[in-house]
Amino acid sequence: MSNDAELPLVLRSAYLALHRASNAQFASHGVTADQFVLLATLSEGKAITQRELALRMSSDPSTVRAMLNLLEKGGLVRRASHPTDARAKSVSITTAGNRKFQQLWKAGQKIRDKMYDSLDPDEATALVSLLRTIADSLTQESAADLRLANTVLG
């Protein structure tokens, strides 16, 4: 195995460390790390569709639905019919959900502090920027992919 593997592997181990720490921190609140991300995505207040929610939190509609079912049971989230598109649902966070999110945000401060304290401010900025670049490189269809798609589709 060449050292090309370094970046993927360390990306994985950094994320898993974050994910574990978050789950441990949120467990006593009855919420998972991924559910926290969903609540955070809704916490700005605007109602969005399930599809958009999935997109924004790097998930997929089927997974989001399973998560919403759990969160709705706990009264943290609400689904209403969409005002203009009868196919769509309009998902929003409830008052209880917002209260829960505030608690979770506090509970997670220790974790964010650990991460940011380990870096200089400019390093943190650089890291965010580099991670965004990586994420984009993996989600954008490459030129080669598009050529292939055109070939296949005729």
Binding site for DNA (CB under 7 A): 16, 19-20, 23-24, 32-35, 49-52, 59-63, 65-68, 70, 79, 82, 84-89
Sole window of 20-28, 66-74, 77-85, 88-96 interacting with a second copy (rule: CB under 8 A): 20-28
10 near a second copy (CB under 8 A): yes
C-alpha distances in angstroms, 92 versus 27, 32, 34, 62, 128?
23, 18, 16, 18, 28
Cα atoms found within 13 Å of the Cα of residue 96, Cβ hemisphere only? 9
Q: Which does 25 bind (CB under 5 to 8 A by kind): a second copy, DNA, none?
A: none
1 near a second copy (CB under 8 A): yes
Instruction: Kindly tell me the sign of the dihedral angle through the C-alpha atoms of 54, 55, 59, 60.
Output: positive
- Report the distance separating Cα 143 and Cα 131, nearest Å: 21
47 near a second copy (CB under 8 A): no
- Report the distance separating Cα 113 and Cα 108, nearest Å: 9
63 near a second copy (CB under 8 A): no
Q: Which does 116 bind (CB under 5 to 8 A by kind): a second copy, DNA, none?
A: a second copy
Q: Which does 70 bind (CB under 5 to 8 A by kind): a second copy, DNA, none?
A: DNA
